[in-house]
Amino acid sequence: MMSFLGIKLNMTQIFNDQGLAIPITVIKVGECFITQIKQQNIDGYNSVQIGYYDNSNSCKKINNSIKGHLKKANIFDKNIKIFREFKFKSSTIENLKLGEKIPLNFLKIGDKLNVSAYSIGKGFAGYQKRHNFSRGPMSHGSKNHRLPGSIGAGTTPGRVFPGKKMAGHLGNHKTTIKNLEVILIDIEKNIIGVKGSIPGKTGNLISIYK
């Protein structure tokens, strides 16, 4: 399994040979480098830490602690501030090298990818928007339009059970979409297109698993 990071650009559509419109999400796959390799006999588990290189001017300078971490992989000249750790099997780690750049040529049209990202945050939401509760009567005299109603019994148990569906924070949680088909690959621009939508808004950092 290979993993890498990218930025969600936008959504568009392309037409296949039959003339059908296929919705795709365009992803800017950055230059990802292997910044750390953890092994079972040393760290207790097998994993690979991947750093995302952003060559835009919007990324600030890295501090000395990150420079020292990147110096071990001999890539301290790269502007890497975003790190993600992925667990791998021991047989996969043996083929990886510290400081190696992850190429895009291992992707092919038709490959299936799993994409993880944080969904769009919608702030504090009520019962109808968050849990699809039905509203109360809207006629004159009704005092229950969008209220929750009863939330628990009285004497027994005399409390509200944990996990009760109530108003609260909606969105901004990690979501994974599985088996997204690769429709478009542009190695020169580091751009791929997957069929369907992925979580988050434009500019959101996403983790991609093959």
Which domains can be identified in the chain, with CATH numbers? 3-121+173-209 (2.40.30.10), 124-170 (no CATH)
Could you tell me what percent of the chain has a pLDDT over 70? Answer: 93
Q: Rounded to whole angstroms, how far apart are CA atoms 38 and 60? A: 28
Q: C-alpha distances in angstroms, 35 versus 23, 50, 110?
A: 34, 6, 29
Terminal Cα distance for the chain, rounded: 6
**Please, are residues 76 and 69 in contact by the beta-carbon 8 Å criterion?**
no
* pLDDT over threshold 90, residue 138: yes
Over residues 30-60, the pLDDT tens digits come to 788 888 888 888 888 888 888 887 665 545 5
Spatial CB neighbours of 109, under 8 Å, sequence gap ≥ 6? 182, 183, 184, 185
Look at residue 196 in the predicted model and tell me its pLDDT.
93
pTM for this model (two decimals): 0.78
Residue type, 22: I
Q: Which two tokens stand for residue 81?
A: 């501030």
User: What is the spatial distance between Cα 210 and Cα 208, in angstroms, rounded to a whole number?
Assistant: 7
